[in-house]
Protein backbone atom coordinates (compact mmCIF):
# COMPACT_ATOMS: atom_id res chain seq x y z
CA UNK A 1 0.00 0.00 0.00
CA UNK A 2 1.19 3.49 -0.82
CA UNK A 3 2.53 5.33 2.20
CA UNK A 4 4.90 8.06 3.27
CA UNK A 5 8.38 6.73 3.96
CA UNK A 6 11.57 8.48 5.05
CA UNK A 7 14.65 6.26 5.03
CA UNK A 8 18.08 7.39 6.20
CA UNK A 9 20.95 5.79 4.35
CA UNK A 10 24.04 6.15 6.51
CA UNK A 11 26.30 4.83 3.72
CA UNK A 12 29.85 4.08 4.99
CA UNK A 13 29.60 6.41 7.98
CA UNK A 14 29.58 5.91 11.77
CA UNK A 15 31.77 3.50 13.69
CA UNK A 16 30.21 1.62 16.61
CA UNK A 17 30.44 4.47 19.15
CA UNK A 18 29.12 7.04 16.66
CA UNK A 19 26.30 4.73 15.70
CA UNK A 20 25.31 4.18 19.35
CA UNK A 21 25.34 7.96 19.88
CA UNK A 22 23.25 8.71 16.79
CA UNK A 23 20.68 6.07 17.72
CA UNK A 24 20.44 7.55 21.20
CA UNK A 25 19.80 10.99 19.60
CA UNK A 26 17.23 9.54 17.21
CA UNK A 27 15.30 8.06 20.13
CA UNK A 28 14.98 11.54 21.64
CA UNK A 29 13.27 12.98 18.54
CA UNK A 30 9.57 13.59 18.34
CA UNK A 31 7.66 12.38 15.30
CA UNK A 32 4.66 14.43 14.25
CA UNK A 33 4.15 13.04 10.73
CA UNK A 34 2.64 9.78 9.53
CA UNK A 35 5.83 8.71 7.74
CA UNK A 36 7.28 5.25 8.15
CA UNK A 37 10.86 5.83 9.35
CA UNK A 38 13.85 3.65 8.52
CA UNK A 39 17.60 3.85 8.97
CA UNK A 40 20.21 1.87 7.05
CA UNK A 41 23.45 1.62 9.06
CA UNK A 42 26.53 -0.26 7.88
CA UNK A 43 26.53 -4.06 8.27
CA UNK A 44 28.76 -3.74 11.34
CA UNK A 45 26.14 -1.63 13.10
CA UNK A 46 23.02 -3.54 12.11
CA UNK A 47 22.81 -5.85 15.09
CA UNK A 48 23.14 -3.29 17.83
CA UNK A 49 20.97 -0.79 15.94
CA UNK A 50 18.19 -3.32 15.58
CA UNK A 51 18.44 -4.41 19.22
CA UNK A 52 18.33 -0.78 20.39
CA UNK A 53 15.42 0.21 18.20
CA UNK A 54 13.28 -2.92 18.64
CA UNK A 55 10.55 -1.14 20.57
CA UNK A 56 10.72 2.07 18.56
CA UNK A 57 8.97 3.31 15.43
CA UNK A 58 12.25 3.20 13.49
CA UNK A 59 12.91 0.19 11.29
CA UNK A 60 16.53 -0.82 10.80
CA UNK A 61 17.26 -1.87 7.22
CA UNK A 62 20.31 -2.99 5.22
CA UNK A 63 22.15 -1.05 2.51
CA UNK A 64 22.83 -4.05 0.28
CA UNK A 65 22.98 -7.85 0.14
CA UNK A 66 24.24 -10.62 -2.15
CA UNK A 67 21.88 -12.77 -4.19
CA UNK A 68 23.39 -16.13 -3.14
CA UNK A 69 22.31 -17.97 0.01
CA UNK A 70 25.88 -18.51 1.15
CA UNK A 71 29.21 -19.64 -0.30
CA UNK A 72 32.55 -18.34 -1.49
CA UNK A 73 31.70 -14.65 -1.86
CA UNK A 74 34.26 -12.95 0.34
CA UNK A 75 33.00 -9.74 1.88
CA UNK A 76 29.34 -10.33 1.08
CA UNK A 77 26.22 -10.81 3.21
CA UNK A 78 23.14 -12.86 2.33
CA UNK A 79 19.41 -12.39 2.85
CA UNK A 80 19.40 -15.24 5.38
CA UNK A 81 22.11 -13.52 7.40
CA UNK A 82 20.17 -10.26 7.45
CA UNK A 83 17.00 -12.08 8.41
CA UNK A 84 18.82 -13.84 11.24
CA UNK A 85 19.37 -10.37 12.76
CA UNK A 86 15.72 -9.46 12.29
CA UNK A 87 16.36 -7.22 9.26
CA UNK A 88 13.55 -7.54 6.72
CA UNK A 89 14.10 -4.60 4.35
CA UNK A 90 17.07 -4.02 2.06
CA UNK A 91 18.15 -1.19 -0.24
CA UNK A 92 19.17 -2.54 -3.66
CA UNK A 93 20.58 -0.82 -6.73
CA UNK A 94 21.89 2.33 -5.08
CA UNK A 95 23.83 4.37 -7.64
CA UNK A 96 26.99 4.05 -5.55
CA UNK A 97 26.70 0.24 -5.76
CA UNK A 98 26.15 0.52 -9.51
CA UNK A 99 29.03 2.98 -10.05
CA UNK A 100 31.73 1.72 -7.65
CA UNK A 101 30.89 -2.00 -7.40
CA UNK A 102 29.77 -2.63 -10.96
CA UNK A 103 26.27 -3.75 -10.08
CA UNK A 104 24.36 -4.39 -13.28
CA UNK A 105 20.65 -4.65 -13.99
CA UNK A 106 21.02 -8.45 -14.32
CA UNK A 107 22.73 -8.74 -10.97
CA UNK A 108 20.10 -6.50 -9.40
CA UNK A 109 17.30 -8.63 -10.82
CA UNK A 110 18.87 -11.62 -9.03
CA UNK A 111 19.22 -9.66 -5.80
CA UNK A 112 15.59 -8.56 -5.98
CA UNK A 113 14.54 -12.19 -6.54
CA UNK A 114 16.63 -13.38 -3.59
CA UNK A 115 15.20 -10.73 -1.28
CA UNK A 116 11.62 -11.52 -2.29
CA UNK A 117 12.21 -15.27 -1.89
CA UNK A 118 13.19 -14.49 1.69
CA UNK A 119 10.07 -12.40 2.25
CA UNK A 120 12.08 -9.22 2.46
CA UNK A 121 10.97 -5.79 1.36
CA UNK A 122 13.14 -4.06 -1.25
CA UNK A 123 13.84 -0.36 -1.65
CA UNK A 124 14.92 -0.40 -5.28
CA UNK A 125 17.03 2.60 -6.37
CA UNK A 126 17.68 3.96 -9.84
CA UNK A 127 18.29 7.29 -11.52
CA UNK A 128 19.96 8.95 -14.45
CA UNK A 129 23.38 10.58 -14.67
CA UNK A 130 23.85 14.23 -15.55
CA UNK A 131 24.77 13.43 -19.16
CA UNK A 132 21.51 11.49 -19.57
CA UNK A 133 19.49 14.46 -18.39
CA UNK A 134 21.43 16.90 -20.54
CA UNK A 135 20.77 14.66 -23.54
CA UNK A 136 17.09 14.57 -22.55
CA UNK A 137 17.44 10.83 -22.18
CA UNK A 138 16.57 10.61 -18.48
CA UNK A 139 13.16 9.01 -18.84
CA UNK A 140 14.45 6.27 -21.15
CA UNK A 141 17.36 5.50 -18.80
CA UNK A 142 15.10 5.26 -15.77
CA UNK A 143 12.50 3.18 -17.61
CA UNK A 144 15.21 0.72 -18.65
CA UNK A 145 16.62 0.43 -15.15
CA UNK A 146 13.16 -0.40 -13.82
CA UNK A 147 12.25 -2.78 -16.65
CA UNK A 148 15.53 -4.66 -16.64
CA UNK A 149 15.56 -5.36 -12.90
CA UNK A 150 11.86 -5.61 -12.05
CA UNK A 151 9.62 -6.35 -15.02
CA UNK A 152 10.13 -10.11 -14.82
CA UNK A 153 8.14 -10.03 -11.55
CA UNK A 154 4.45 -10.84 -11.03
CA UNK A 155 2.24 -7.90 -10.11
CA UNK A 156 1.83 -9.24 -6.56
CA UNK A 157 5.58 -8.89 -5.93
CA UNK A 158 5.25 -5.11 -6.05
CA UNK A 159 3.53 -5.14 -2.66
CA UNK A 160 7.01 -5.79 -1.28
CA UNK A 161 8.82 -3.15 -3.31
CA UNK A 162 9.39 0.55 -2.73
CA UNK A 163 10.97 2.59 -5.52
CA UNK A 164 13.59 5.29 -4.94
CA UNK A 165 14.37 7.71 -7.73
CA UNK A 166 17.79 9.24 -7.18
CA UNK A 167 19.23 11.38 -9.98
CA UNK A 168 22.95 10.67 -9.71
CA UNK A 169 23.81 14.33 -10.27
CA UNK A 170 21.90 15.28 -7.12
CA UNK A 171 23.42 12.74 -4.73
CA UNK A 172 25.72 14.28 -2.14
CA UNK A 173 26.26 17.29 -4.39
CA UNK A 174 24.03 19.78 -2.62
CA UNK A 175 22.23 20.15 -5.93
CA UNK A 176 18.74 18.78 -5.70
CA UNK A 177 16.26 18.11 -8.47
CA UNK A 178 13.63 20.82 -8.41
CA UNK A 179 10.33 19.70 -6.91
CA UNK A 180 8.90 19.91 -10.46
CA UNK A 181 11.67 17.71 -11.90
CA UNK A 182 11.06 15.18 -9.12
CA UNK A 183 7.30 15.25 -9.67
CA UNK A 184 7.67 14.85 -13.46
CA UNK A 185 9.90 11.83 -13.06
CA UNK A 186 7.77 10.24 -10.32
CA UNK A 187 4.69 10.65 -12.49
CA UNK A 188 6.57 9.05 -15.39
CA UNK A 189 7.62 6.14 -13.16
CA UNK A 190 4.04 5.59 -12.03
CA UNK A 191 2.90 5.68 -15.66
CA UNK A 192 5.58 3.14 -16.57
CA UNK A 193 4.24 0.81 -13.87
CA UNK A 194 0.70 1.47 -14.99
CA UNK A 195 1.51 0.56 -18.60
CA UNK A 196 2.94 -2.81 -17.57
CA UNK A 197 0.94 -3.81 -14.48
CA UNK A 198 -2.15 -1.60 -14.39
CA UNK A 199 -3.36 1.11 -12.08
CA UNK A 200 -3.54 -0.87 -8.83
CA UNK A 201 0.20 -1.55 -8.84
CA UNK A 202 0.95 1.98 -10.03
CA UNK A 203 -1.26 3.75 -7.51
CA UNK A 204 -0.17 1.59 -4.58
CA UNK A 205 3.55 2.09 -5.21
CA UNK A 206 5.48 4.30 -2.80
CA UNK A 207 8.05 6.26 -4.80
CA UNK A 208 10.78 8.03 -2.82
CA UNK A 209 13.02 10.84 -3.99
CA UNK A 210 16.70 10.91 -3.04
CA UNK A 211 19.41 13.47 -3.73
CA UNK A 212 20.40 16.30 -1.37
CA UNK A 213 17.11 16.33 0.55
CA UNK A 214 17.56 18.65 3.54
CA UNK A 215 15.28 20.15 6.19
CA UNK A 216 15.13 23.32 4.05
CA UNK A 217 13.79 21.66 0.89
CA UNK A 218 11.98 18.53 2.14
CA UNK A 219 8.55 20.12 2.58
CA UNK A 220 8.39 21.41 -0.97
CA UNK A 221 9.60 18.16 -2.49
CA UNK A 222 7.23 16.05 -0.35
CA UNK A 223 4.30 18.30 -1.28
CA UNK A 224 4.34 16.93 -4.82
CA UNK A 225 1.56 14.42 -5.43
CA UNK A 226 3.70 11.57 -6.74
CA UNK A 227 6.52 11.96 -4.20
CA UNK A 228 5.82 9.61 -1.30
CA UNK A 229 8.94 10.19 0.73
CA UNK A 230 12.70 10.39 0.67
CA UNK A 231 15.89 8.39 0.76
CA UNK A 232 18.18 10.63 2.76
CA UNK A 233 21.98 10.47 2.82
CA UNK A 234 23.97 13.29 4.42
CA UNK A 235 21.08 14.78 6.36
CA UNK A 236 20.34 11.40 7.97
CA UNK A 237 23.58 11.61 9.96
CA UNK A 238 22.17 14.24 12.34
CA UNK A 239 19.10 13.23 14.33
CA UNK A 240 17.57 16.74 14.36
CA UNK A 241 17.98 17.19 10.60
CA UNK A 242 16.66 13.72 9.88
CA UNK A 243 13.55 14.27 11.97
CA UNK A 244 12.99 17.71 10.45
CA UNK A 245 12.72 15.79 7.17
CA UNK A 246 10.59 12.99 8.69
CA UNK A 247 8.22 15.69 9.97
CA UNK A 248 8.11 17.56 6.67
CA UNK A 249 4.94 15.70 5.68
Shortest Cβ 170–ligand G3H spacing (Å): 6
Q: 224: left (phi > 0), else alpha (psi -120 to 50), else beta?
A: beta
Between vectors from CA 221 to CA 158 and to CA 190, what angle results, nearest 5°?
Answer: 30
Among 231, 239, 246, 248, binds ligand G3H (CB under 6 A): 231
Cα dihedral value 81, 53, 108, 202, nearest 10: 140
d(CA 158, CA 11): 25
Among 6, 169, 234, 243, binds ligand G3H (CB under 6 A): 234
Span of 23-31, 129-137, 186-194, 227-235 interacting with ligand G3H by CB under 6 A: 227-235
Binding range to ligand G3H, per CB under 6 A, among 75-83, 138-146, 180-188, 206-214: 206-214
At CA 171, angle to CA 178 and CA 214, rounded to 5?
60
CB nearer to ligand G3H: pick between 41 and 233: 233
Minimum CB distance to ligand G3H, residue 163 (Å): 13
| Contacts (CB under 6 A) with ligand G3H, residues 153-182 | 166, 171-172
Q: Does the footprint of ligand G3H cover residue 14 (CB under 6 A)?
A: no
86 is in an annotated binding site: no
Residue 212 as a binder of ligand G3H (CB under 6 A): the answer is yes
Active site residue 166: yes
Measured CA to CA, the distance from residue 228 to residue 221 in angstroms comes to 9
Q: Is 94 among the catalytic positions?
A: yes
Contact predicate 235/39, CB 8 Å: no
| CA neighbor of 28 nearest in space, from 242, 229, 245 | 242
3-state per-residue secondary structure call for 217-244: HHHHHHCCCCCCEEEECHHHHCHHHHHH
Residue 233, annotated as binding a ligand: yes
Does the footprint of ligand G3H cover residue 229 (CB under 6 A)? no
Residue ranges for the binding site?
A: 9-11, 172, 212, 233-234
Annotated binding residues for substrate, as ranges?
9-11, 172, 212, 233-234
Task: Write out the residues near ligand G3H by the rule CB under 6 A.
Answer: 9, 94, 166, 171-172, 210-213, 231-235
Residues carrying an active site annotation: 94, 166
Amino acid sequence: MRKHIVAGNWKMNNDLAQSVALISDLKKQNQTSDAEVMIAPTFTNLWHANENLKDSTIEVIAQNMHFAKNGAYTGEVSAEMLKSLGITTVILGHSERRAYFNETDDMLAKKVDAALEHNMRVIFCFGEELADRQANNHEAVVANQIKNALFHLEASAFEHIVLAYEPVWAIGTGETASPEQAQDMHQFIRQTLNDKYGENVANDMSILYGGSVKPANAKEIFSKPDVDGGLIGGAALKAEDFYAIVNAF
